[in-house]
A and B are shown apart, each in its own frame.
Chain A
């Protein structure tokens, strides 16, 4: 296998995933097109330079469905040669897109490609694709009962003894770190403001951040999943799977869960040869990438085994890693990874995460991979891991090493 490098990455700001959100007016394909144009222009890519675009989208229905990634490069001025692929690895989709292309490039079948994802949650709500069989089809769901994600998060907290205060404190840190990162311009290179048809800026900043929250305001919020856990039977299902638990402690609130937002993210990857050919400097080398399944009812603890295997493959141990980026699906998820991998909080999500900025499902993996690359450069450190948990019980992890 030859080396695979990340050359650049861009993302949209994350707009509130509601009709009053800043990106609601923009179609999903338009988000992707503007990012493609930006990445093409700032790297001086030729029209004919792109082999493939692989995009993750979780709710691939309507205007966000089919193979949006086929037409987007053409709209952005790339030649007809750039093939498109849609993938769905739930929340791990965009990082899976990077993994797939890394494998193809590493094997010598592709030279330069773009991986990423798009999710306009305000326009195409979760489930708009029909939601698949798990949880909905009785035969499937009776075999393997489906527990709604928020209840799984509370189960994860219950099993690990994370209190409401633990989760709120983590959420507060995420908000404060994201606010600081924005204040200090740490996202400036990555974020591409999205414009309307007339070129007026629709959104230039993440609009989900609440920099003014305090432990008091967080503490006043109601548990988000207590009602649904009780009335829809999910608490009972969680106990059936984990009968050593007395009861599910509903400790997550809306503020310690990731936000629903619109957004897209892209990562430009290629071989060393592609970099030379187009005069681009590699920014990070992809050392390892692993995806695996975990127990579906608990759902959210896949990052630990995924990280362990990715580090094994790279010949590393957790203490070798300078920076970690983990999608903050729920506050218990990073707490669990920090516990299991012995990660100090000052190396984990140092610029905040999805709790503060939001989680545009299929796009997040590319966004946080990019955040990791930028921060490794800013801190001048060598090794980082980017990881996500995914619906249905899956985990993905990728080890990145500074290049150049």
Chain B
């Protein structure tokens, strides 16, 4: 027994072998090659060792096992050249080992001392006895569905055989975690004991003659609640599950469908065959690009962004105590709430006290809802509200570490406020503008110190949306950048950083989606087709619904003022202008593209057809989907070629977390890599010929295709934005 081993092996006087999982050099046990191999070797030794009567599996870390190695699953391993059966075999190794363990004839107890997720819980489920430490912080769960995968170590088979089909669905499909007490109640574990008695409890079960046969290996076993189609609840569960899954995923996410297939097919089979089926479906998910893209963008790259990997090293980390926000409207109120929740004092300034107080009231209202649902306490609410200090006096900004302006999106208004802030704060204080489109470099001119001016683009509702787009103006210095990053980190959001330009990245990116959709309305495509196509592409809502939510009047004024800001006189506001003139302002007055009723129910406005007569021959749904998807891909490619992005990761994260680009595609750049640039070019060229410049690709993309380059991976192109940032 040496300390560097990933699994330590010891046998006590009662013939009980204890295996302690403890991956060297890691904070948590992750099931990569090292731990898996050591675990297998130790298990085989224990089963072969005549002195061993029973086995206890536990962990030497504060967690038990945190799951599989996402880096490996997320593309670290190239499965492209492997046959599907080979992939199934490769990824089925843990499943086979666990099956071998559970029928090897010696009782195995699992002493769950901490977090047991994914493969960790699957190891536990394959043990004949599970005891968990009584610590409410411990979570047991199968989060594979959240990364587009399925539990491939027997999780889809053992869990429902233990607790029934219906009870297992929230864990398998929604990634619901159980506390030790919940796990005991639902039957996932046999016992919950104080942490100090955990190992002893496992050994006591073994000494008392623990049964080495799993319930499902006993004659006459039946899945709790029924496991075949002659059971009405089994049938009905699948009818609802299949329909809801498909209705919500639009067929874009293979993971939930395969989990359902594992359950349906597997529960009607004996365990050995059932596990084989699970491995086969797992292999299908590994071959499909969706899980890879999801894992790379939403976990690996999101984690990288949140760890502030790009943060300039030379600037000391800012520990935020007090910030200022000027403008207590929707955005300012949301940012203030987010900061207050993180324990940061906020000076919330507006023109009059009533407006400033209204901004604070937003936080109160949101938390009142949480209180109603039992998700918070009055004491916690009072504490958060105590951090927000509404006022009108800019002098209050004097003691703040960062001031964010979030006033009306109008250059004159912004200028007035920035000048006032700059006059009120000590030299060196970072001022950030929460503009969604006005170039930061131009706004910086209104500040005394242009180096300490930066863009921080929040998304509405700012307390809930996970992304902040940081825009570095030409003069913004590293201190401004680091301060902005540290603040985003402090309020537990994901930052991306982009170079300056009209609409930066996210605003121009979503603009392409809106423009493509409005173009279609104006050309006579059925609005329902446009809205449904957007949902089917994977957008959270159609562009017409978005327009109604934002407010037609807001879009109208913003479009006009931005056009004026760019010196354009021919701003095209056709359908938005017509709706505005007709007094249809969107959801706010119940009339926009849709007629809205009080409950939020909506029907497309039938009058739209009179403004824009429908085409006699409507395009196919595939064509409408293409127009929506490729408009965004082309816009992303143009932004990249123009140097807006320093790193494509920021583009993928900004599009998915900020403006609703479908996560299953992994972001626009991951999507273009997956589709293949030649295909993207052919599609965009076709669409550009039919529908114009919205689909025009930059030369850079054609060069990349010629040279076999991609946006991500080994042959990734160097971002033009890198030079610009430097």
Q: Which residues of A contact B238 (CB under 8 A)?
A: 135-138, 141
Contact with B along A236-270 (1 / 0, CB 8 A): 11011001111100000000000000000000000
Distance, CA A130 to CA B239, complexed state (A): 12
Contact A138 B235 (CB under 8 A): no
Contact check, A233 vs B526: say whether CB atoms are below 8 A apart: no
Decide yes or no whether A146 CB sits under 8 A from chain B.
yes
| Interfacial chain B residues near A2, Cβ < 8 Å | none
Q: Are B229 and A130 in contact (CB under 8 A)?
A: yes
Residues of A near B602 (CB, < 8 A) are: 247
A237 touches B529 (CB 8 A): no
Is A73 in contact with chain B by the CB < 8 A criterion? no
A243 and B246 contact, Cβ closer than 8 Å, known pairs A146-B239, A233-B240 = no
Smallest CB gap from A145: residue in B = B246
Residue from the list B261, B527, B536 in contact with A240, Cβ < 8 A: B536
Interface size on A, as a range, is: 20 to 34
Q: Nearest chain-B residue to A132 (Cβ)?
A: B229
Q: Indicate with 1 or 0, residue by residue over A24-63, a CB within 8 angstroms of chain B CB atoms.
A: 0000000000000000000000000000000000000000
In the complex the two chains form, is A244's CB within 8 Å of B229's CB? Answer: no
Q: Which of B245, B260, B528 contacts A243 (CB 8 A)?
A: B528
Given the interface pairs A137-B264, A145-B242, the reply to whether A131 lies near B235 with Cβ below 8 Å is: yes
Interfacial residues of chain B within 124-175, with CB under 8 A of chain A in the complex = none
Are A236 and B239 in contact (CB-based, < 8 A)? no
Q: Tell me, yes or no, whether B313 is within 8 Å of chain A by CB.
A: no
Least CB distance from B189 to A in Å reads 29
Complex Cα distance, B239 from A148, in Å, reads 9
A142 within 8 A of B: yes
CB < 8 Å: which of B235, B240, B257, B603 contacts A246?
B603
Q: Are B244 and A232 in contact (CB under 8 A)?
A: yes
CB <8 Å contact, A247 and B603? yes
> Is residue B232 within 8 Å, beta carbon to beta carbon, of the partner chain?
yes
Q: What residues of B have a CB within 8 angstroms of the CB of A234 in the complex?
A: 243, 247
B229 A236 Cβ-Cβ under 8 A: no
Q: Is A222 an interface residue (CB 8 A)?
A: no
Chain A minimum-CB-distance residue to B234: A136
Is B251's CB within 8 Å of the partner chain A? yes
| Min CB–CB distance B292 → chain A (angstroms) | 20
B533 within 8 A of partner (CB)? yes
Cross-interface CB contact of A233 among B247, B251, B257, B535, cutoff 8 Å = B247
A243 to B624, CA, bound (A): 10
A142–B526 CA distance with the chains assembled, in angstroms: 27
Q: Complex: how many Å from CA A232 to CA B230?
A: 21
Q: Is the interface of A mostly helix, strand, loop or mixed?
A: loop
User: Is the C-beta of A127 less than 8 angstroms from some C-beta in chain B?
Assistant: yes
Q: How far is the CA of A139 from the CA of B265 in the complex (A)?
A: 9
List B contacts of A146 (CB < 8 A): 239, 242-243
- For residue B442, CB closer than 8 A to chain A, the reply is no
Contacts of B531 in A (CB 8 A): 246
Query: Is B264 touching A236 in the complex (CB atoms < 8 A)?
Result: no
Q: Report B-chain residues with C-beta under 8 Å of the C-beta of A148.
A: 239, 243
CB distance from A343 to the nearest CB of B (A): 28
* Residue interface bits A274-291, CB-to-B below 8 A is 1, else 0: 000000000000000000
B251 touches A142 (CB 8 A): yes
| B376: chain A residues within 8 A (beta carbon) | none
Check B248 for interface membership: any CB of A closer than 8 A. Answer: yes
Check A237 against B247 for contact (C-beta < 8 Å): yes
Q: How many A-B residue pairs have CB under 8 A?
A: 104
The answer to whether B689 has its CB under 8 Å from any CB of chain A is no
Which listed residue, A127, A142, A247, touches B257 by the CB 8 Å rule?
A142
Residue B621 lies at the interface, judged by CB distance under 8 Å to chain A: yes
A242–B338 Cα distance when bound, in Å, is 41
Q: Say yes or no for B523: interface residue by CB 8 A criterion.
A: no
Query: In the complex the two chains form, is B235's CB within 8 Å of A136's CB?
Result: yes
User: Does A236 contact B536, Cβ atoms closer than 8 Å?
Assistant: no
Note all chain A residues with C-beta closer than 8 A to B247.
233-237, 240
Query: A144 CB to closest chain B CB, in angstroms?
Result: 10
Given A131-B235, A237-B247, the answer on whether A244 and B618 have CB atoms closer than 8 Å is yes
Q: Is B604 an interface residue (CB 8 A)?
A: yes
Contact, CB under 8 Å: A244 / B246: no
B604 touches A141 (CB 8 A): no
B408 within 8 A of A: no
Indicate with 1 or 0, residue by residue over B599-614, a CB within 8 angstroms of chain A CB atoms. 0001110000000000
> A239–B603 Cα gap in the complex (Å)?
14
CA of A244 to CA of B614, assembled, Å: 12
Cα–Cα distance between A239 and B621 once the two chains are bound (Å): 11
Q: Is the CB of A136 within 8 A of B532?
A: no
Q: Which residue of A lies closest to B232 (CB)?
A: A127
Q: Would A138 and B242 count as touching, CB distance under 8 A?
A: yes
Cβ-closest chain A residue relative to B254: A142
Assess the A138–B257 pair: CB atoms within 8 A.
Answer: yes
Asked if residues A130 and B243 are in contact (CB atoms below 8 Å), the reply is no
Q: Please, which residues of chain B bring their CB within 8 A of the CB of A240?
A: 246-247, 250-251, 532, 536
Residue of B nearest to A147 (CB): B243
Within 8 A of B (CB), among A102-158: 127, 130-131, 135-139, 141-142, 145-148
**B243:A233 contact, CB within 8 angstroms:** yes
Once bound together, how far apart are the Cα atoms of A258 and B228, in whole Å?
30
Is B239 in contact with A232, judged by CB distance below 8 angstroms? yes
A246–B721 Cα distance when bound, in Å, is 42
A147 to B243, CA, bound (A): 8
Q: How far is the CB of B219 from chain A (nearest CB, A)?
A: 24
Chain A residues near B246 (CB-CB < 8 A): 141-142, 145, 233, 236-237, 240
Q: Which A218-238 residues have C-beta < 8 A from chain B? A: 232-237
**A135 cross-chain contacts in B, Cβ below 8 A:** 238-239, 242-243
The CA-CA distance from A142 to B618 in the complex, in Å, is 27
On chain B, the residues within 8 Å of A147 by CB distance are 243
Q: Which of chain B's residues have a CB closer than 8 A to the CB of A139?
A: 257, 261, 264-265
Q: How distant is B604 from chain A, measured CB to nearest CB, in Å? A: 5
Looking at the assembled complex, report how far the CB atom of B92 sits from the nearest CB atom of chain A, in whole angstroms.
Answer: 20
Q: Which residue of B lies closest to A142 (CB)?
A: B257
Q: Which chain B residues numbered 198 to 251 have a C-beta less than 8 Å away from chain A?
A: 228-230, 232, 235, 238-248, 250-251
Interchain nearest-CB distance for B295 vs A (Å): 22
- Starting from the known contacts A135-B243, A137-B265, 16 additional A-B residue pairs (CB-CB under 8 Å) come to A130-B228, A136-B242, A139-B264, A142-B251, A232-B240, A232-B243, A233-B245, A233-B246, A236-B248, A237-B246, A237-B247, A240-B532, A240-B536, A243-B528, A243-B624, A244-B526
Which residues does B use to contact A, with CB under 8 Å?
228-230, 232, 235, 238-248, 250-251, 257, 260-261, 263-265, 526-529, 531-533, 535-536, 602-604, 618, 621, 624
Which 8 pairs from chain A and chain B are nearest by CB?
A236-B247, A233-B247, A243-B532, A138-B260, A233-B244, A130-B229, A233-B243, A141-B242
10 contacts between A and B (CB under 8 A): A138-B242, A138-B264, A142-B245, A142-B246, A148-B243, A233-B243, A237-B247, A240-B247, A243-B529, A247-B603
